[in-house]
Structure 1
Amino acid sequence: MPAPLSSTSPTTDHHKVLIVGAGAAGIATAASLRARDPSLDIALIDPAEVHYYQPGWTMVGAGVFNAPSTARAMAATLPRGVHWIKARVESFDPQGQKVVLESGRAVGYEQLVVCPGLKLDWDAIEGLGETLGRNGVTSNYRYDLAPYTWQLVQNLKKGRALFTQPPMPIKCAGAPQKALYLSCDHWLRSGLLGDVRASFFNAGNVLFGVPDYVPALMSYIDKYGIDLNYQHRLTAVDGPNQRATFVRTLPDGSSETRVETFDMLHVVPPQVAPDFIRQSPLADAAGWVDVDPHTLRHRSFGNIHALGDVANTSNAKTAAAARKQAPVVANNVLQALGRLNTLAHYDGYGSCPLTVERGKIVLAEFTYGGKLAPSFPRWLLDGRKPTHLAWLLKAQVLPPLYWQAMLKGREWLARPQPMVGAKP
């Protein structure tokens, strides 16, 4: 397994391919590159000791998975032959083809892949940081808090449960609803729904961005008697007094403040690009890495690619998207190095397995523009309807697919497609 290289080791001064970020996108890209060219000199920069299977945290929050099953040592996860630079990135010098680390040391590259994920901006909500993990305030967006979600759901016998969704973009746009539905399903099966009243406060104005899946989701909103509120953004939490403050956007564009009491509060924080990305020459006006949506190549720097949550593409920010993007980036990096002839094309594929109850999922799959992109024939699995087969896919197939295929460079249902008519 790869051992981290010293941040002062001369052997890490320059690499043919440098990858920033060892999340799902970074490791999958490194593995796809190695699968195509085992001789390629690749280094991956990331300070983390642990790699997490984040899509599993929704299931942890519902008592289906245990938290440790979603975590593995980073050293055991990285592809063999890939150098690991265990450090934080401070800045980018695209003209000099260098990445500067926090220590001040620079690492050069011929090709750069940027995929450090995004930043969960907990501090954007007043009072939230001081109360997370107690006073009934939780979030499945953190490894250490997802078990607390399940504890709260089990212990709540009567009262109000609030679930929030911030403005887009966020990672896994369906995750706020997944926590809502699975919690309500538990209360329904326990005969508590009614004594426990659930409310969903969505900063947006639609339940889900792809209309084809909304009817099935609305049927569960009705089934669970959920109080549904649009255009409500969580701005403050008073944990000791269990009060949540929302700003509601009115039809005329003005706003009003609304304060709600709670016994349980599941929070999804606002999400932005990491600070070192937003302050870099790689970022667009909104702070995300500015890439062509199909080649995933930077619009200004031809030897830089980006994928995963940090890219400014309009696809859903999910692990499923990264699984399709990684082979495209691997192909296009090798094309840029002159080792392949054809550019590959990313169509915007994303997937969101919406866990509407324990044992059933609405499997949303779509490409750019909300075009449906089912992986299976409709007679086998119609993603627009809740099915047990989709649940089995989420609970039993996707975790090993993640660890043993995606992170190993095995591209089942993810082989890159050539970009028709594209010129290098």
Structure 2
Amino acid sequence: MTATALRAQINWWRGCQRAYDRTGYQYFHTTNQTASKEHVKILVLGGGSGGVAMGARMKRKVGAENVAIVEPSEMHYYQPIWTLVGAGAKSVESSGRPTASVIPSGVKWVKSRVTEVNPDTNSVRTDSGKEISYKYLIVALGLQLHFEKIKGLPEGFEHPKIGSNYSVKTVQKTWKALQDFKEGNAVFSFPNTPVKCPGAPQKIMYLTDAFLRKTGKRSNANIVYNTSLPVLFGVKKYADSLWEVVKARDLTVNLRHNLIEVRADKQEAVFENLDKPGETNVFKYEMLHVTPPMGPPDVLKGSPLADEAGWLNLNKETLQHNVYPNVFGIGDCTNLPTPKTAAAVAAQSGVLDRNITRIMKKSQPDKTYDGYTSCPLVTSYNTVILAEFDYNGQPLETFPLDQSKERRIMYYMKADVMPHLYWHGLLRGLWGGPGPYRTLMHLGMK
């Protein structure tokens, strides 16, 4: 065998074998030419907050060698902090860490993208050609951003004065547009689809107002929030407080307005009036923040795991799939009727941990998810309204005080405490939401 042929043989073998990297976790790597099959007891699809949290929890249940996480991204981001990044209060660097550093040690990392899920054969296929079979499947694939569904995007981001806090590629453009603002309209949109963190589109509006006041430009600005929703916020207690903020700061809110086109070269945003089909309104802007339409991952849409809308079809209380009893889900990819937030993921992780354990022991799920979610509504650079509520839109507040009021302490929780809980609690499978603390603080009363 020639030296060249020998090197080729060695490289081929390296591409097929399992290896350990310097962090101590395993990963699979193959190419289409070396497609192979693997089996794992618990397979987690997605390495976002829900996937990593459940990977850590399942590692403690069945051992790291029996768990694998499929995730193609090299970086993991704490996305809730992007609200503050877009307003210049945090750096984008602080929001990300290498995926290698958050995958639980010893858990197999499949560095690929899922292309097909076959629950009837208990297997998935990845873009590397690998087929992985499983005994239990946890789907945590997140959702997709669809900037392309707005005419003129995403190419419009090549122009100045437009940004979005929903992508690491565009969040710093929001801050740049805010810094460069001189006079005119600052326009903020909310799409006619489910979104993750539905409070975020208006948080940046409040921060823009605060920044322009601080820099002496507020008198030259007209701040406009155009939302497709018929309400400012879905829970009346917090909506009432937000309307007070809107009126006190002279902000303009247009309900049932949906962004359909951006003419970035002309600095124009076109909105359709959802209550009057065919009617559109054009807004000139000096600054535009876009919240894109969002939807389920392509691999779920049309699959046996999806409901009619393409979202993962779960029992909203047990988080078990409605058709396949060995399939479970968590986070943004699910059809759970609650806002898609990191706080919801935390609460779901504790419920899912318990119920999967019961299923593995041939028992029935006995823990119920009540729809708890939280939205820290940032209203300035030092105040937050901390909204917490359940499936029924009823407040489910942790602290024994009225959380519908703007408070400084809640801002520090949002900016400093919650990131720490995320990195060192949720992702390590140690934080399942504030339920126990709520019970303690309310002396056992809801």
Normalising by structure 2, we get a TM-score of 0.88
Q: Quick one: which amino acid aligns to residue 397 of structure 1?
A: V
Deviation at 1:245, TM superposition (A): 0.9
Question: Which residue pairs with 2:440 in the alignment?
Answer: none
1:354-373 equivalence runs, <5 A: 354-373=377-396
Question: Which residue pairs with 1:323 in the alignment?
Answer: 346
1:61 correspondence with 2:94: no
Distance 1:27 1:264, change over 3 A: same
Residues of 2 paired with 1:301 and 1:241: CA distance? 51
Deviation at 1:334, TM superposition (A): 2.0
Question: Which residue pairs with 1:421 in the alignment?
Answer: none
Q: Is the 8 A contact 1:7 1:86 kept in 2?
A: no
Question: Which residue pairs with 2:4 in the alignment?
Answer: none
Distance 1:412 1:348, change over 3 A: closer
Q: Quick one: which amino acid aligns to residue 72 of structure 1?
A: R
1:77 correspondence with 2:77: no
Identity of aligned residues (%): 35
1:120 correspondence with 2:140: no
1:99-248 equivalence runs, <5 A: 99-248=124-273
Q: Is the 8 A contact 1:327 1:414 kept in 2?
A: no
Match for residue 42 of structure 2 among 17, 25, 28: 17
Q: Is the 8 A contact 2:347 2:432 kept in 1?
A: no
Cα deviation code 1:63-82 (max 9, x no counterpart): 11100000000001111121
1:39-58 equivalence runs, <5 A: 41-58=66-83
Greater mean deviation of Cα atoms: 222-231 or 340-349: 340-349
Cα deviation code 1:259-306 (max 9, x no counterpart): 111111100000000111113111101110000001111100000001
Cα deviation code 1:320-377 (max 9, x no counterpart): 0001111222222222211777532211010000001110000000011101111121
Match for residue 26 of structure 1 among 51, 64, 70: 51
Residues of 1 paired with 2:35 and 2:310: CA distance? 32
Q: Which has the higher contact order (CA 8 A, sep 6+)?
A: 1
Q: Quick one: which amino acid aligns to residue 396 of structure 1?
A: D
Deviation at 1:131, TM superposition (A): 1.2
Q: Is the 8 A contact 1:33 1:331 kept in 2?
A: no
Residues of 2 paired with 1:62 and 1:162: CA distance? 15
Distance 1:123 1:115, change over 3 A: same
DSSP 3-state at the match of 1:99: strand
Q: Is the 8 A contact 2:385 2:404 kept in 1?
A: yes
Residues of 1 paired with 2:261 and 2:142: CA distance? 25
Distance 1:10 1:162, change over 3 A: closer
Deviation at 1:224, TM superposition (A): 2.3
Residues of 2 paired with 1:264 and 1:50: CA distance? 29
Deviation at 1:414, TM superposition (A): 5.2
Deviation at 1:390, TM superposition (A): 0.5
Q: Quick one: which amino acid aligns to residue 203 of structure 1?
A: S
Normalising by structure 1, we get a TM-score of 0.93
Q: Quick one: which amino acid aligns to residue 260 of structure 1?
A: F
1:289 correspondence with 2:308: no
1:240-389 equivalence runs, <5 A: 240-250=265-275, 254-338=277-361, 343-378=366-401, 382-389=402-409
Deviation at 1:36, TM superposition (A): 3.9
Structure of greater Rg = 2
Q: Quick one: which amino acid aligns to residue 257 of structure 1?
A: T
Calculate the aligned-residue CA RMSD, in Å.
Answer: 1.8
Q: Quick one: which amino acid aligns to residue 267 of structure 2?
A: Q
Cα deviation code 1:3-36 (max 9, x no counterpart): 5321368997000000000000100111122234
Cα deviation code 1:357-414 (max 9, x no counterpart): 1100000000111011111211xxx211110110010111001110001111112645
Q: Is the 8 A contact 1:193 1:224 kept in 2?
A: no
Aligned residues: 411
Q: Is the 8 A contact 1:4 1:83 kept in 2?
A: yes
DSSP 3-state at the match of 1:268: coil
Structure 1 unmatched runs, 5+: 417-424
Structure 2 unmatched runs, 5+: 1-22, 437-446
Q: Is the 8 A contact 1:331 1:340 kept in 2?
A: no
Q: Is the 8 A contact 2:26 2:106 kept in 1?
A: no
Residues of 2 paired with 1:415 and 1:80: CA distance? 28
Poorly superposed stretches of 4+, deviation over 6 Å: 8-12
Match for residue 400 of structure 1 among 417, 420, 423: 420
Residues of 1 paired with 2:277 and 2:164: CA distance? 29
Greater mean deviation of Cα atoms: 164-173 or 325-334: 325-334
Greater mean deviation of Cα atoms: 96-105 or 22-31: 96-105
Deviation at 1:39, TM superposition (A): 5.7
